[in-house]
Chains A and B, each alone.
Chain A
Amino acid sequence: MPRRDNLFGGGNFDAEDFDDYNILQRDMQVDGGLRPVTEEAVLAIRREAAQAIQAVYAELGFPPITDAEVEAATTGHSSDDMPERDLVADLAAADAFLAGDQDMLTVIQALQRRGFTKTATNILEMGRQRIAGDYLQPSAIFDRDFRVQSAINDPNDYTGPGTGYRVTGARWEEIQRVPQAKSPREFIADQIGEPSKRLVEVGPAKTGTRPEVIVAVGPAFGRELTKTIGGLDHEAVLAAILTGVAREGLVARIVKVKHTSDCAAIGHIGASLSGSGIAIGLQSRGTAVIHKQGLARLNNLELFPQSPSLTLETYEAIGRNAARYALGKPPRPVGVKIDNWARLKLIVKTTLLHRRETEQIRDEPPTELFFDWEPEV
């Protein structure tokens, strides 16, 4: 539990890091000592712990702990979520406890009287272990049954990569059982809808001869993927681009590229088919490029790499600019929102979307797409 009120332990690792750490343990196959748990299990153990402390406070005559405090300690995220207490009274009780002759055994008695047998047994076991002193040896820990493992009975046997402790067996299975783990499919569920009925493949793409803009889309466009990473419907994106082109008085053809999922390559192929030599390359996740015939594949006129930030207005502006290039007019700057967190937040989703698009690659030439849409202009 993050402790905002801790004057001493300015720790930089608390429960807010556990989710990340569980994933690191799993993905790097290391044992960091953390155990994935369910929310129910955490709530149960926290409630029991808070009730045990409440009982000990009551038995020892400390300032009472209310049921509301127990509830807050059970469900609270950090110490900020705990109700205010009379700290002066708590400190006075602590002073009295330290000055008196009550000790660990008093606490054990209190717990046992109130029915917290398991906790009483555990605390007494700590006392019993003091009698044996096995834990005084180097690198000693207790396992969950209070058996000591230390450098004496479990010495370091690391002698280089591949030796020493390797997480295997039941512990490895446990590390992998992260309750909140999602399947890769769930990450991109929003991008997979009903295949577009307004987009129909009508045969091999021909090379154009008149002024036009080609909109070249990726192999999953409108079918295996139906929305951009920003949640824009593929049909709406196409309509926005075509509207932009139409506003400049030009027409656009749509082609689907089958044999690559690479944005630059898609735009490059589109440009080679375009009567004006200008094409917009559009990946299914929304990344766009304006390409021109004769440019190297990885070169371009304009690149819009931050697909999550692109809006329908942006796509319309991209369409307009492509048309202006085709007509030999100067382009206008396309405003794009910059989100420095996008890469960090969406890297997994981006990778999965790219994978899905790449899975659709076929060794086939581009096809012409008919889009059932009329411009409003």
Chain B
Amino acid sequence: MPHHVNGDSPRDGGYTSPAYPLAEHAADSLTAANGRPLAEVTLDAAAQGALSADDIRISAATLRAQAAIARQAGYSAVAHNLERAAELTAVPNAELLRMYEQLRPGRASEAELVALADRLEDEFHAPITAAFVREATAVYRRRNLLRRD
């Protein structure tokens, strides 16, 4: 382990999670988004056409585990990001792309962004992402990035 020289932030020296990388230390307990164990995601299964897209997609639980690892190492912004990602696994891809489009500058009115935040919270149980969109709404208003009708 490198020495912790500067000491003012944990990321200078790095606390290492004993579980990381998960692919090495937690391979037996890792499952894909649909619950299939990692050990079953094999070339044979793929060649036989026994796998689908959800078999190679990350689960919310694993994203939260990665968020905890990032937070422990001092990367709180990365941790937040991964926690939002965990929430967003509940949102279908096409839906997610529509949300993404709405958040581009000048695409949505304030009411539409508020509605998006509410929907994230109520329908997809994504409170962190909902708060993030509400924060964005305030910033968009201040910086004139809302849609002008």
A contacts, CB < 8 Å to B:
103-105, 108-109, 112-113, 117, 120-121, 124, 127-134, 136-138, 146-148, 150-153, 155-157, 159
Contact = CB atoms under 8 A, between A and B. Distances in A.
Contacts of B58: 130-133
Nearest to B81: A136
Contacts of A121: 43
Interface string B10-35: 01111011001111101100111000
28 contacts: A105-B46, A105-B53, A109-B46, A109-B49, A112-B43, A113-B47, A117-B43, A120-B43, A120-B47, A128-B23, A128-B38, A129-B23, A131-B41, A133-B62, A134-B21, A134-B23, A134-B66, A137-B20, A137-B78, A138-B78, A147-B24, A148-B21, A152-B14, A152-B21, A152-B73, A157-B2, A159-B5, A159-B6
B85 to A, nearest CB: 8
B8 to A, nearest CB: 13
Given A131-B30, A132-B38, A147-B21, A137 B56 contact: no
Given A131-B56, A133-B58, A137-B69, 5 more contacts: A108-B43, A124-B41, A152-B21, A152-B69, A155-B14
A134 to B, nearest CB: 4
Given A137-B66, A147-B24, A152-B17, A105 B52 contact: yes
Nearest to B62: A133
Most central of B3, B38, B43 by chain A CB within 10 Å: B43
B64 to A, nearest CB: 10
Contacts of A153: 16, 20-21
Nearest to B33: A131
B30 to A, nearest CB: 6
B62 A131 contact: yes
B70 interface: yes
Nearest to A120: B43
B14 to A, nearest CB: 3
A134 B25 CA distance: 11
B139 to A, nearest CB: 24
A47 to B, nearest CB: 23
A151 B75 contact: yes
A157 B56 contact: no
A13 to B, nearest CB: 28
Contacts of B26: 132
A108 B3 CA distance: 44
A60 to B, nearest CB: 14
B23 A137 contact: no
Among all A-B residue pairs, the 10 with the closest Cβ atoms? A155-B14, A157-B2, A127-B56, A132-B23, A134-B21, A112-B47, A159-B5, A148-B21, A132-B22, A108-B46
B63 interface: yes
B107 interface: no
Contacts of B38: 128, 131-132
B16 A132 contact: no
A117 B47 CA distance: 10
Contacts of B75: 137-138, 151
Contact of B13 (A112, A133, A147, A155): A155
B145 interface: no
A138 B22 CA distance: 15
Contacts of A124: 41-43, 46, 56
B24 A103 contact: no
B133 interface: no
Nearest to B48: A109
B103 interface: no
A120 B66 contact: no
Interface in B66-101: 66, 69-70, 73, 75, 78, 82, 85
Contacts of B59: 131
Contact of B56 (A105, A151, A155): A105
B57 interface: yes
B138 interface: no
Contacts of A132: 21-23, 26-27, 30, 38, 58, 62
A111 to B, nearest CB: 9
Interface centre among B17, B27, B47 (most CB of A within 10 A): B47
B44 to A, nearest CB: 9
Nearest to A136: B66
A121 B12 CA distance: 36
B3 to A, nearest CB: 7
